[in-house]
Structures are given as C-alpha cells and as structure tokens.
Amino acid sequence: MQSIQSRRNAIQWGRWTMAALLGIGWGLSIPVPARAADGPSVEMLNTGMNALWVMLSAVLVLFMQAGFILLESGSTRMKNAGHIAGKTVFTVGLCSLVYWAVGYGLIFGSGGSGFIGWGDFFFNPQGADGLPPFVFFTFQFAFAAVALSIAWGGFAERAKLSVYVVFTILFTAVIYPVVAHWIWGGGWLAEHGKQDFAGSTVVHLTGAMAALAATLLLKPRLGRFAGKGASGEMKGHNQVYTTLGVLILWIGWFGFNAGSTLAVDDGFFGYVAMNTQLGAGAGAIAALAISWIVNGKADIPTILNGTLAGLVAITASCAFVEPWAAVLIGLVAGVLVFYSTKLFDKLRIDDPIYALSVHGMAGIWGTLSNGIFATTELAAKVGVGTGGLLDTGSFHQLGVQAYGIAAAGAFAFLASYGLLYGIKQISGLRVREDQEVMGLDLSEHGEYGYPEQMGQLDAPQHNRSASSPVPQPIGHSPAKPVVLRR
C-alpha cells in the first residue's frame, strides 16, 4: 500500500512540475515590449513603485482627517462634538469637488503666471510621463484638505453651519491655490528658491492665518473671557480622544512628509521619515519639560501640542537638514508652542484647538529653520534653494524664507479676513447666543452627539424644535446668559 501511494505522489508531483514548466515557457514566449531591454523594464518597475508609494501616502494624509475629528472634538465641549465630527466629513467632500474643478488648475496649471496657475480645470489629463497624474492629483488634494481642517480651529463652537459651506468653497478656490502656486506650482517664491518641502507654510501657516481671521471676526466664545484680564478656561471634554487624534496625525505625517519625496527608488523617503520622527519626539519632550518646570505639572494638552508643533516645524525642513538639526527644530517648537498659547490668551484671542500656536507659530519657526540649518548638499538633492546660515555663512536663504513667510502669511490672512467679513455682512458668521448655549449639535443638526449624557433621551424627540428648552448635561448647571456684541 505504501508503494502504491508513493507512486501516486510521484505522478502528482510530476504533473505539477510539468505544468509549472509549461507556464514559465508560455510566459517567456509572450512578446512583452518591456523585455526588449532591461532599461524599460526597470523604468516601468520604478514608476509603478513610486505611484504605489505616493498613493499610499495620499491615503495616509487623507486619514489625518480622522485625527482632526478626534483632536478637535476632544478639545471642545461635549455639546458640540457631533457637529465638529460631521462638518469635517462634508467639508472634505466639498473641498474635493472644488479642488477638482478649479483648485488644482490654479496651482499647477501651465498657462498661468508667477502669481497664479491657469489650466487643467475639471482635471482630466490625456497622459503624462513619470508619476501617473491621477495619483499626483489625489496626493495634492489631501494637502488642501488638511489646510482647510486647520482653518476650522478658529471657527470652533460658534460658527454657523452655512459658513463652513461657503468658506470651504472660497478657501479651496481662492486662498490655498495662490499660496500653493507661489511655492509648489512654479510661482514667484519657487523661482526665488523658497524651501518648504511638505508645507509648513503652504499648508500649516495658510490654515492658521485663516483661523486667525475667523476667530478675530467671530469673537471669543461665550464666557471665555469673563472680564478684563480674566480667562475663563474651557476644557475639552475628552483628553483620550485628543490624544488618539494626535497619534493618528503623527502616523499620517509620514505620508505627509516622506510621501512628498514622490519616489522610493533611492530610499530618500526613509531619511525624511527619520527626521520627521525626531522632530516630533523632540517637540513632545520639550513641551513636557517646559510645562513641568513652569507649572509644576506635566500638562497633557501641552505635551500633545508640543508633539504636533514638532511635526509642523520639521515639515518644511525634513529633507533639507541633518538629524541633529531636526531634533533641535523640534525642541524649539515644543517650547515655542507653550509660550505662544499663553500669549494668545493674554491677547484675548480665543483659539479652541490652538491652531495659531501649533500650526501658525510652529509653521513660521519651521520655515525659518531652513534658512539656518539647511545643508548645501541636501538643497542640491531636493533641487530647491541653497544651504542655510550655518552651512554657508550667508543670510541669503534665511532672507528668502523670511519674506516668503511674510508674503504667504499676509495674503492668507488678508484674503481670509476680507472674504469672511463679506460673509458676515451678508448673512452673519456666528450662531445666536441661545444656540451657542444649547450647543451646535442640537441647534444646527437636531440632536446631540452624546444624547444620554446631555439628557436628551429623557424627553420625547418628535415634537422638539431647535428653539425648544434644552435639557442640560447631567451634573451641569445652565450657562448664564452673556451679552455679546457682534
């Protein structure tokens, strides 16, 4: 019996071997053009690998929106959590349509000038060499969506839902494309050698300046600054959400920075990823240390802000500096974000998710750091600008970085302020005081994100309108009416 079974196994193995050989021979007989020479085959493989890497990076950057949902909702009050989560989803959806229609063309359109691009509207390329154009489009759109989400920090807990719709269109079609074209689309700052590898200026500073314009026009939340010099601190409702949001953003940042190499064939994306990690880690440690030293406690929101500040700062310089400089950039960012939040608080500027400190101040520092720490060798590798002050002894690159920040920041702020001021005059920006007190979940959407905790399930829902009395959160007293001048 064993002999018969052995023969059967041998016959079966023989059949499998013959089938494999026939399959290989059939494959080798196919006249594939790539087999004509080794060069085209390697080139096709490189292109495919680069496209796969950039597409994966685009997904990572887009997934950062989940981080923004948790970060922003966790940093604000429970009665607005559902609103914040929902508006993030629909604004990203609207942003994608506007970016497809006009945004991409105003950045990368070949028929424009140093100020603005022109062409490729309703994006539909006929073909291109190198990276597939649809992959590049998806990757670039994800950056525009991040800039928009940063801007929403200045609107949080008090802006009308309709304002999010209108400003999404205007920001994606008018504000972001101009700054992105100047630096990434071959505009005048690109011609001057402005270094911003993955967007400390283009994405983070632009979004922060829009947030600043919004918070100045909207005024502080009710009760935020009760009297002259007073600061009514409004704690976020869920530190675990905020922390998880930061971790998701941290992971997504590898698509943000390392993905901006647009290639994997030389392994440089690994160097960029390492610098990104070093900057983030240094920012977290610096923020922990400074809060512990100054306040006597290791404040968790400060640690989280320091981590993000380190990431924002290293975004411009991750491909231009050596690892020791990445650590130093992150350390400075972690300290800077701690003191800048105190400064904005003293100025009575209500910034619920610290967008101005994390993305604005750290974005400025990160962009300037190129002019100090960039090396001539890495600048030549990337193909933008020159080495910084420490490497060349020249202030040239630092000067380019400085006036690039001034130009981009001023445009983003003035354009955002002007457009939002126009909306304010036409339809208003802010919800009514009674709507703000009840929360935007109920006033704008008809139900709370946390119905049990807010006591909403204690009463019938079918007859309730937005103007009906609202059950107060369990264990909380009704907010005192505050007279707000708009």
Contact, 367 vs 314, CB < 8 A?
Answer: no
The CA-based angle 29-34-38, given to 5 degrees, is 105
pLDDT, average across residues 441-458: 80
Q: Which of 288, 157, 140 is nearest to 218 (CA)?
A: 157
Alpha-carbon distance 208 to 322, whole Å?
27
pLDDT, average across residues 51-67: 98
Q: Which of 180, 183, 306, 326 is nearest to 243 (CA)?
A: 306
What single letter denotes the amino acid at residue 289? A
Q: What is the pLDDT of residue 12?
A: 56
Alpha-carbon distance 278 to 99, whole Å?
33
The residue with tokens 């080798």 is: 28
pTM of the model: 0.85
Q: Which of 421, 353, 418, 348 is nearest to 151 (CA)?
A: 353
**DSSP 8-state symbol, 200:** I
Q: Which residues pair with 159 in a beta bridge?
A: 430
Q: What is the pLDDT of residue 233?
A: 77
* 462 contact partners, CB below 8 Å, separation of at least 6: none
In the predicted structure, residue 473 carries a pLDDT above the cut 50: no
336-381 confidence digits (pLDDT tens): 999 999 999 999 999 999 999 999 999 999 999 999 999 999 999 9
The topology (CATH level 3) of 42-221+233-444 is: Ammonium transporter fold (1.10.3430)
- Using CB atoms within 10 Å of the CB of residue 314, give its burial: 0 to 12 exposed, 13 to 18 middle, 19+ buried: buried
Question: Does 12 or 130 have the greater pLDDT score?
Answer: 130
The CA-based angle 35-39-45, given to 5 degrees, is 80
In the predicted structure, residue 466 carries a pLDDT above the cut 80: no
Torsion angle, CA of 458/462/465/469, rounded to 10 degrees? -20
State both tokens at 86: 């929902």
234-253 confidence digits (pLDDT tens): 889 999 999 999 999 999 99
Domain ranges for the chain: 42-221+233-444
In the predicted structure, residue 185 carries a pLDDT above the cut 50: yes
Coil/strand/helix, residue 289: helix
Q: Which of 207, 209, 202 is nearest to 180 (CA)?
A: 202
Alpha-carbon distance 473 to 435, whole Å?
15
In the predicted structure, residue 33 carries a pLDDT above the cut 60: no
- Measured from the Cβ of residue 343, the count of other Cβ atoms closer than 10 Å reads 12
Q: What is the pLDDT of residue 467?
A: 46
In the predicted structure, residue 30 carries a pLDDT above the cut 70: no
In the predicted structure, residue 256 carries a pLDDT above the cut 50: yes
Inter-CA distances, 472 with 208, 442, 453, 469, 483, Å: 33, 12, 9, 9, 20
Q: What is the pLDDT of residue 464?
A: 45
Alpha-carbon distance 445 to 318, whole Å?
42
* DSSP codes of every residue in 89-150: HHHHHHHHHHIIIIIHHHHH-BT--SS--B---S------SSS-HHHHHHHHHHHHHHHHHH
